[in-house]
A and B are shown apart, each in its own frame.
Chain A
Amino acid sequence: NAGVTQTPKFRVLKTGQSMTLLCAQDMNHEYMYWYRQDPGMGLRLIHYSVGEGTTAKGEVPDGYNVSRLKKQNFLLGLESAAPSQTSVYFCASRLIRSNEQFFGPGTRLTVL
């Protein structure tokens, strides 16, 4: 039981490049989340999904897109990376009947 995993762990991009971050969970959780963590600002919700095929915007969705084609996977895309997107990105998931979120180890992204 791996829990929540994230790929890759680290990435450096140039401004304007695109990339996709992958989150996978093997706990059959319905809800999945993408957060970004910046110094002094805590975690801010980017997008979330309440089930396969559904996504919704969080607090800071601009510049990001997401897809949930399979229940166990939640992808976060950056179409044209900007230096302001330099951050640590965390994925989380939970069961529909629980409020406890389980977090992945994070992806550190640097945009030059």
Chain B
Amino acid sequence: GEDVEQSLFLSVREGDSSVINCTYTDSSSTYLYWYKQEPGAGLQLLTYIFSNMDMKQDQRLTVLLNKKDKHLSLRIADTQTGDSAIYFCAEIFQTGANNLFFGTGTRLTVIP
């Protein structure tokens, strides 16, 4: 199977920027995703990036993709306490069903 790696924990102060990193293995992935999981809830899609892009910005979120190093990052500007959650990166495994492989998840804690 695929191996998608993330750091398990990240703590930041409210108002600072958060950067969550991910490394993936399938160089043929067409899309890479960031999902957010709030406590006691399922996952929600935050944003995604197509593999021919280097960067995508969506309000406070910036996704950077380095295909050469197979490195994906999610930057959250002006981090708020409501951003505290687990963040998962995911890549598509190139089969007919286009299933997702998820990273281990990074638990972001925002300190007031």
Q: Chain A: residues with CB nearer than 8 A to chain B?
A: 4, 31, 33, 35, 40-45, 48, 50, 56, 58-59, 90, 92, 99-101, 103-106
- Assembly CA distance A106 to B44 (angstroms): 12
Q: Assess whether B42 is in contact with A99, with CB atoms less than 8 Å apart.
A: no
**Most central of A41, A44, A99 by chain B CB within 10 Å:** A99
Interface string of B11-43 (1 = CB under 8 A from A): 000000000000000000001010000001111
Any A CB within 8 A of the CB of B99: yes
CB closest chain-B residue, reference A60 = B1
**Distance of B99 from chain A, by nearest CB (Å):** 6
CB-CB nearest in chain B for A106: B42
> Given the complex, which residues of B lie within 8 Å of A100, measured CB to CB?
45, 48
Q: How many residues of B contact A (CB 8 A)?
A: 22
Q: Are B105 and A4 touching (Cβ within 8 A)?
A: no
**B42 near A4: Cβ-Cβ < 8 Å:** yes
Q: Is the pair A42, B103 in contact by a Cβ cutoff of 8 Å?
A: yes
Dominant secondary structure at the A interface: strand
What is B's interface to A at a CB cutoff of 8 Å? 1, 4, 8, 31, 33, 40-45, 48, 88, 92, 97-100, 102-105
Are the C-beta atoms of B4 and A90 separated by less than 8 Å?
Answer: no
With the chains together, A104 CA to B42 CA distance in Å?
A: 6
* Contact between chains at A45 and B99 (CB < 8 Å): yes
Q: Is the CB of B45 within 8 A of A90?
A: no
**Nearest residue in A to B92 (C-beta to C-beta)?**
A99
A105 touches B42 (CB 8 A): yes
| Chain B residues whose C-beta falls within 8 Å of the C-beta of A43 in the assembled complex | 43, 88, 102
Whether the Cβ atoms of B88 and A42 lie closer than 8 Å is: yes
Q: Is A106 a contact partner of B99 (Cβ separation < 8 A)? A: no
Q: Are the C-beta atoms of A101 and B97 separated by less than 8 Å?
A: no
With CB as the reference atom, state the residue of chain A lying closest to B104: A42
List, sorted by A's number, 30 A–B pairs whose CB atoms are closer than 8 Å: A4-B42, A31-B97, A35-B102, A40-B8, A42-B105, A43-B43, A43-B88, A43-B102, A45-B99, A48-B99, A58-B99, A59-B1, A90-B43, A92-B42, A92-B43, A99-B92, A99-B98, A99-B100, A100-B45, A100-B48, A101-B43, A101-B45, A101-B100, A103-B42, A103-B43, A104-B42, A105-B40, A105-B42, A106-B40, A106-B41
